[in-house]
């Protein structure tokens, strides 16, 4: 194994304990880094208390740690301020928050533009909003390679588009969206932009100000942090104009029988007890990520993607989904083998200590557009190396021998 990768793997408790595991399912859940796990344990064993308004030392320590976590996320995203960071239960919750809060500012006839390539969490909430309020929902199509086809973008937006909600990177094909072109068209139409960054964050820090979007959502469990926590970043002035999503403790200014006023963002959108320990663990993961040499990691991930794509293209009856080259996608590679079900493929590979995911990947509209019902997906992260790729290619030889 590559020495640099071996050193990285040793920092992930599960991978350190399972040296023979070829984990290629990081697009679903990345492994938790030791610093994130240590931060969760440290919080739960030294300053477990609820945040906001506690007047004893333990609660004040929890407040400081939670506030520091918000600042860490802001640094990772290059946000304008920590007050632009809203903690949620995950990317799905963050996307639903926008669909509810921003959706409550829309009326019948207003248009939301999404794409065929969206994860269901950035597809279904907008369908639900359409049913509830009568908004129009329009779709950006994809080409045969799964890349968003932006040729009709101005037409699809029309004159009533209020929001464009798209993925930064497909969880099936790995195809990157042309965010700059989408943002430019949205600004021309006077629309806001929501970016689903769930598949991008594990590949390095993001710069929401450079991206030019208005909202950015991601999950902690996809960027080496704990599960049960996510982030919605929103421009300060945009968040300030939105009504709350959930009602309860922590999100109010004052409550009387006749009226309730709202707290300022981000508290306005964090009703109830937030995911305190999870947010602290996420911050530790992001702080660690910001110490890494990302150009070097990107080069290695792309090289592994190239090796995998080249190997898959030599396998009979196998169809590669998405862009044909690794430099056009994140290191997420899905494929279909004629006559074989992805679940059967994954079960055979599991017998060789290979962890991949098979199914529709919560992206049924995209798979329908690509002409398949399900596919097998391998996703590469910074703790993978050439041995994982070769193990998969060797495993697929056994798959065909066993299942055909």
Catalytic positions, written as ranges: 362
Place of tokens 């004893």: 56
Q: Report the helix count and the strand count for the chain, using DSSP H and E.
A: 15, 15
- Torsion angle defined by CA atoms of residues 40, 41, 46 and 49, in that order, rounded to the nearest 10 degrees: 50
Query: How far is it, in rounded angstroms, from Cα 318 to Cα 248?
Result: 52
| 97: nearest Cα among 263, 240, 246 | 246
- 260-262 and 252-255 strand pairing: antiparallel
* DSSP conformation letters of 292-340: S-HHHHHHHHHHHHHHHHHHHTTSTTEEEES-SSGGGB-SEEEEEETT-
Residue 176: DSSP 8-state:
B
Query: How far is it, in rounded angstroms, from Cα 347 to Cα 127?
Result: 34
Residue 220 CA, distance from chain mean position: 8
Place of tokens 């071996």: 6
Query: How far is it, in rounded angstroms, from Cα 228 to Cα 221?
Result: 8
Written as six digits, the tokens of 233 are 């970043």
Which whole-number Å values give the CA distances from 201 to 186, 214, 218, 225, in the listed order?
A: 23, 17, 7, 11
């Amino acid at each position: 194994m590559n020495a640099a990768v071996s050193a990285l793997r040793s920092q992930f408790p599960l991978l350190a304990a399972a040296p023979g595991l070829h984990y290629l399912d990081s697009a679903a859940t990345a492994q938790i880094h030791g610093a994130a796990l240590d931060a969760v344990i440290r919080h739960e064993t030294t300053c477990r208390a609820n945040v906001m308004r506690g007047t004893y030392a333990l609660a004040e320590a929890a407040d400081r740690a939670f506030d520091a976590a918000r600042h860490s996320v802001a640094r990772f995203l290059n946000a304008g301020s920590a007050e632009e960071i809203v903690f949620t239960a995950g990317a799905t919750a963050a996307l639903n928050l926008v669909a509810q809060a921003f959706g409550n500012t829309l009326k019948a006839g207003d248009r939301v533009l999404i794409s065929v390539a969206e994860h269901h969490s950035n597809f279904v909430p907008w369908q639900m909003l359409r049913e509830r309020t009568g908004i129009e929902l329009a779709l950006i199509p994809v080409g045969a390679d799964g890349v968003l086809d932006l040729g009709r973008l101005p037409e699809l937006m029309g004159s009533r588009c209020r929001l464009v909600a798209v993925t930064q990177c497909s969880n099936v094909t790995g195809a990157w969206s042309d965010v700059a072109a989408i943002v430019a068209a949205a600004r021309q139409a006077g629309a806001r932009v929501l970016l689903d960054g769930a598949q991008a964050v594990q590949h390095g820090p993001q710069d929401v100000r450079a991206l030019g979007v208005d909202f950015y959502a991601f999950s902690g469990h996809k960027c080496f942090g704990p599960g049960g926590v996510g982030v919605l970043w929103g421009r300060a002035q945009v968040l300030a104009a939105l009504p709350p999503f959930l009602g309860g403790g922590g999100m109010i200014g004052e409550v009387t029988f006749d009226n309730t006023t709202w707290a300022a963002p981000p508290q306005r959108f964090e009703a109830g007890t937030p995911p305190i320990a999870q947010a602290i663990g996420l911050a530790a993961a992001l702080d660690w990520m910001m110490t890494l040499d990302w150009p070097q990691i990107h080069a290695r991930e792309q090289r592994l993607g190239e090796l995998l794509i080249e190997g898959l293209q030599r396998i009979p009856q196998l169809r590669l989904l998405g862009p044909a080259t690794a430099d056009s996608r994140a290191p997420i590679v899905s494929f279909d083998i004629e006559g074989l079900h992805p679940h059967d493929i994954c079960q055979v590979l599991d017998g060789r200590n290979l962890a991949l995911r098979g199914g529709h990947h919560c992206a049924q509209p995209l798979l329908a557009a690509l002409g398949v019902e399900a596919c097998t997906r391998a996703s590469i992260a910074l703790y993978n190396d050439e041995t994982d790729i070769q193990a998969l290619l060797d495993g697929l030889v056994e798959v065909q021998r066993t299942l055909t």
